[in-house]
Structure 1
Amino acid sequence: MNKKFMGTEAIMRRAMLKGCGFADEDIKTKPHIGIVNTYNEGAPGHAHLKQLAEVIKQGVWAAGGIPFEFGAPSTCGDMIVGEEELKYELAGRDAIALGIEYVSTVHQFDGLILLASCDNIIPGVCLGAIRMNVPSIIITGGSMLVGEYEGEEVLPCDVGVMTMGKEADSQRVQDIEDVACRCPGACSTMGTANSMQIMMEALGWTLPGTATIPAVYADKLRAARRAGKRIVEMVKEDLKPSDILTRETFLNAITTDIAMGGSTNVILHLIALAREVGVELTMNDFDRIGKKVPCICGVKPSGNYTIVDLHNAGGVPAMLKELQSLLYLDSKVVTGETLGDVVEKARNKNEDLIRNMNNPINPDGGLTILRGNLAPNSAIIRSSSVPENMKKFSGPARVFSRDQEGVKAIQEGKIKPGDVIVIRYEGPKGAPGMKEIMLSTDALVAYGLDTSVGLITDGRFSGFNHGPIVGHITPEAYEGGPLALVEEGDIISVDIKEAKLTLKISDGEMQKRREKWVKPEPKVKQGMMHIYAQMCRSADEGAGMTL
């Protein structure tokens, strides 16, 4: 019996559900399962989730539960690349969590299944599930298939570079547009979307082997139905997120993220999730693990493969098998098994894509935490995607306050080999929202400068971006961090091997500049982003809205 819906005090709740067409015996006797659907007709990562939700409900009914689907907001960040409003994306993570907390609390669900595919949407639903702490399963939407143009693979991340400087109505541009997104699903690189989908498996929060199933494969439907059945069992077992998301589980996720060359945004999200569940996780954990874990996954941009290839090679379990000596194998997964059980059954079907640790893609690991007088707290570089000649570089600063200013300078030929572009006031409070710096990074590639020009910012990057680019600099410029004190022509040095980010001026000069610095006026003074700017933490603490 479902005690929440028994007795006189529950008469109004029962009446409301009967008004929706649910029968008395279902309301009183079956677990109530909330199906959080981030379906959005205008976002390829979420356009197919309506069908998945229906299949999940079949599984819930078959296992003796009663499903209640409700919506949560979702976006595709690529819809707004190049626009100032891109800064809304990270703050959207908190908006999603608030919505899930609100609906789930009022409707008193016994369990949750959360459907999501993309960058900030996945951690948003996760934050909401952690707050509820009822049995939960995350179901990822999977990746899209790969397009082709003139005999070459085309992924969404290629569009900006392949078409930059071309006329919008040219045949080339139209042809590339037509094939870049062949079907629903997340973009098939190791961008933030797929990085976070894989993190769900590394955290044990989705059914093993299912995170990388392409969106249009029938396997995805079968996995959704299994999840619908499993969540009813989890409610009976009372297996909650707090039972699964331990410190050891998060350390497994960090190891996996570094080994796969994951998006730098994963760091923000894992720290925010750990903070929400009450687990201690800091940049020092990423730093420590990053020094001993090589990059073993050859998915773009660290290699030449796609997420579809990774799935066909054995998916996440096959990658975890190669990492098992570094993992806490006693960690629980939502099936009730341990991670060790999952690894034992895994098989690596492509040893060029998923390498062993003695034959890595890059011995330096996927991510490196940098520190120095320009980043006293931390900064991040995706070291597995940096050309060898740029793993140590220095040059004169070219200083801008917006991504749009940086790309304009590149297009006008004002940026020369050896320069270091600085884009500041784009951090969590400064943007506000910690905007992705995509225009300038794409332009560096399009204009052939990605092997000779560095870029540093207190903003973040898309998981698509690669090369000698440093982000997440903390403290951010808007908070008076050293990045705010950089002047045109200052020499900046980046050394991945030594994990250093240095502004070549004396401490005395730094202090003089600090005394003269005036904090800029806020860019936004009302609405969602104003609220976010007042409440968000710094990037090294996850950039979430917490007190």
Structure 2
Amino acid sequence: MSQNELRSHSSIVVDGADRAPNRSMLRAVGFKSEDFKKPQIGVASTWSMVTPCNMHINVLADETAQAIENAGGKGVVFNTISVSDGISMGTPGMRYSLVSREVIADSIETVVGAQGFDGFVAIGGCDKNMPGCVMAIARLNRPAVFVYGGTIKPGKNRRDIVSVFEAVGAHAKGSISDEQLLEVESTAIPGPGSCGGMYTANTMASAIEALGLSLPNSSAQEAVSESKHHDCQRAGVAVLNLLEKGIRPSDILTKKAFENAITVTIALGGSTNAVLHLLAIAHTAGIDITLEDFTQLGEKVPVLADVKPSGKFLMSELIEIGGIQPLMKMLLDNGFLHGDCMTVTGDTLAENLKDVKPYPANQEIVRSFENPIKPNSHLVVLYGNLAPEGAIAKISGKEGLRFEGKARVYPSEESALKAILDGTVVKGDVLVIRYEGPVGGPGMREMLSPTSAIMG
């Protein structure tokens, strides 16, 4: 493509004598005369000091913009919001969390559309950042790459944020002292990065990589690492390559790509939130994905990764043995992935995985197909009078096929948590929390505080 063809959006904003006022404004933010002839690439940063998940993303955004400049484009950094699930969890503020996904998508779409960017890179850290960024990518359908901010390093004694939630439950039962609770609180979160197990952020980052919207192993890098800086540099080059080749998100976000994302989510033992977010992304992209797709794939795809919260290992330990690329190669070689799907490298998934080396022979984190954690999906779609349109349960395989118990029904998360902590809810009870859905809440707060208190 010619340089003018690469500038189909930005040329409308800056070309011609009548656009002198536009150029004048842009000169004030650092544009030089030669920059007006370059493709303009937005860098959507979710940087914020409200959460460790995002506190470093300004650095990653600046590195990405510089990489775009080095590759012949003009990088322009702008911000969108982020809220912290870990901080708002268990409070009225959690009602804003799911809504923030749409705010992120709306704001990125607004800036990219208003400013006439020819493509963009979106960088996300906390849970709702990932689907919000990808929904914007799908809506705009301009060449785009997603960069994951990266996972946090382990805390003391391999602790993470859920260790603290569980310590609250242990403290309520008298199992640990005030001093021990403070020690856990003070040593679980050592610095930047998203929660260190296969929770929502790492699950969605992995699913997005499987979709083909991020570069290989972008989902499996620590937030503070040379590999993450390299990821940003490669993303700046990749987005211009997509622009040059005319590859758009609609070429990547196909039915097969979503099946790949679901498959990788299952194999990793990923979060139930992946169901919620992948359905929303697919709807935005105009792809027909339903709960039935999760059921059908779940009947044949095994859980292979022994990663927290269901398993033993942390994301940083999975990174040490090679990340998720060897797992994806295993899945591809055994017929579980569609290798012909296009990705942001400009190559197919199979081409990306062609030279990936297997995991070390002595590692214990990712099982073989002959010895899976679970022979089918841990994400089970349930139907019944409580959920006639379906509900998602995370099943490890140790629960048995039937459970009977006394139902204890509470009208809010707060009242349920109080009953757990004061001992009203006991082993064998069924806990039902009403009025916490998308409408009733409103906002569909996640119930990590009650579930962790039970586990603690």
Q: Distance in 2 between matches of 1:12 and 1:279?
A: 41
Q: Is 1:173 the equivalent of 2:185?
A: no
Higher relative contact order (CA 8 A, sep 6+): 2
Q: Does 1:110 align with 2:118?
A: yes
Cα shift at 1:9: 4.3
Report the equivalent of 1:196. Answer: 204
Residue deviations 1:239-298 (CA, integer Å, cap 9, x gap): 111111001000110111111111101111101011111110001101111111110011
Partner of 1:529: none
Counterpart code for 1:344: K
Quick one: which amino acid aligns to residue 18 of structure 1? Answer: R
The structural deviation recorded for 1:199 is 1.1
- 1:252 equivalent in alignment to 2:260: yes
Which of 331, 334, 339 is equivalent to 2:344?
A: 334
Show CA shifts across 1:203-229 (max 9, x none).
Answer: 111110221110111111111111112
Structure 1: tracts of 5 or more residues without a match = 447-547
Corresponding position: 1:12 with 2:21: yes
| Counterpart pick for 2:391 among 379, 392, 413 | 379
Percentage of identical aligned residues: 36
Structure 1 residue 439: Cα displacement: 2.1
TM-aligned CA deviation for residue 401 of structure 1? 1.4
Structure 1 stretch displaced more, 2-11 or 301-310 = 2-11
1:123 alignment counterpart: 131
State the Cα deviation string for residues 39-63 of structure 1 (Å, max 9, x = none). 0122111001111112112210111
Q: Residue 114 of structure 1: SS of its match in structure 2?
A: strand
Contact 1:330 1:339 in 2 (8 A): yes
- The AA in structure 2 aligned to 1:72 is T
Structure 1 residue 320: Cα displacement:
0.7
Structure 2 residue matching 1:42: 3-state secondary structure: coil
CA distance in 1, matches of 2:48, 2:19: 34
Q: Give 2:295's match in structure 1, choosing from 281, 287, 290.
A: 287
Instruction: Map 1:424-443; keep pairs closer than 5 Å.
Output: 424-443=434-453
Any idea what SS the aligned residue of 1:395 has?
A: coil
Per the alignment, residue 357 of structure 2 pairs with 347
The answer as to 2:396 corresponding to 1:403 is no
Name the residue aligned to 1:38. 46
Structure 1 position 159 matched with structure 2 position 167: no
In structure 2, the CA distance between the partners of 1:425 and 1:354, relative to structure 1 (3 Å rule), is: same
Write out aligned runs for 1:387-466 (5 A): 388-446=398-456
Task: State the shift of 1:425 in Å.
Answer: 1.3
Distance 1:390 1:44 in 2: 38
Aligned to 2:405, the other structure's residue is in SS state strand
Q: Which amino acid aligns with 1:126?
A: V
Structure 1 residues 444 and 163: alpha-carbon distance in aligned structure 2, compared to 1, 3 A threshold:
closer
TM superposition score normalised by structure 1: 0.78
Query: Which has the larger displacement, 280-289 or 347-356?
Result: 347-356
User: Which structure 2 residues correspond to residues 224-243 of structure 1 after superposition, within 5 A?
Assistant: 224-243=232-251
Mapped contact 1:271–1:282 kept (Cα < 8 A): yes
Report the 3-state secondary structure (helix = DSSP H, G, I; strand = E; otherwise coil) of the residue aligned with 1:417: coil
> Contact 1:247–1:279 (CA<8 Å) still a contact in 2?
yes
Quick check: 2:168–2:453 contact (8 Å CA) kept in 1? no
Does residue 1:307 correspond to 2:307, yes or no? no
Count of paired positions = 440
Instruction: Verify the 8 A CA contact 1:299 1:306 in the aligned structure 2.
Output: yes
Letter aligned with residue 379 of structure 1: A
Q: Which residue of 2 aligns with 1:83?
A: 91
Verify the 8 A CA contact 1:212 1:311 in the aligned structure 2.
Answer: yes
Q: Distance in 2 between matches of 1:157 and 1:426?
A: 21
Q: Distance in 2 between matches of 1:411 and 1:41?
A: 31
The structural deviation recorded for 1:430 is 0.9
- Distance in 2 of aligned mates of 1:211 and 1:260: 12
Structure 2: runs of 5 or more not aligned: none
What is the CA distance between 1:402 and its match in structure 2? 0.8
CA shift at 1:391, angstroms?
A: 4.3
Give runs of aligned pairs for residues 507-526 of structure 1, distance below 5 A. Answer: none
Greater Cα offset, 322-331 or 227-236: 227-236
Partner Cα distance (2:92, 2:50) in 1: 20
Aligned-pair CA distance for 1:18? 1.9
Q: Aligned partners of 1:163 and 1:401: how far apart in 2?
A: 22
| Cα distance between partner residues in 2 of 1:391 and 1:414 | 26
SS at structure 2 position matched to 1:36? strand
For 1:141, the equivalent position in structure 2 comes to: 149
State the distance in 1 between where 2:177 and 2:400 align: 36
Residues 389/109 of structure 1: CA separation in 2 closer, same or farther (3 Å cut): closer
Give secondary structure in 2 for the equivalent of 1:394.
Answer: coil
SS state at 2:338 partner: coil
Q: 1:30 to 1:336 in 2, by over 3 A?
A: same
8 Å contact kept, 1:317–1:342: no
Kindly indicate whether the alpha-carbon contact (under 8 Å) linking 1:201 and 1:316 is maintained by their aligned counterparts in 2: no
Question: Which residue identity does 2:420 align to in structure 1?
Answer: I
Task: Name which of structure 1's ranges 57-66 and 18-27 shifts more when overlaid on structure 2.
Answer: 18-27
Asked whether the equivalents of residues 302 and 361 of structure 1 are also in contact (C-alpha less than 8 Å), the reply is no
Partner residue, 1:278 = 286
1:94-138 CA deviation, whole Å, 9 max, x = no partner?
Answer: 011111111111101001000101211111111112111110000
Task: State the distance in 2 between where 1:84 and 1:361 align.
Answer: 36
Separation (CA, whole Å) in 2 of partners of 1:338 and 1:21: 37
Aligned residue identity for 1:358:
E
Give how far 1:342 is off: 2.1
Matched residues in 1 for 2:186 and 2:419: separation?
30
Residue aligned with 2:324, SS: helix
- Whether the 8 Å contact between 1:101 and 1:131 is mirrored in structure 2 is yes
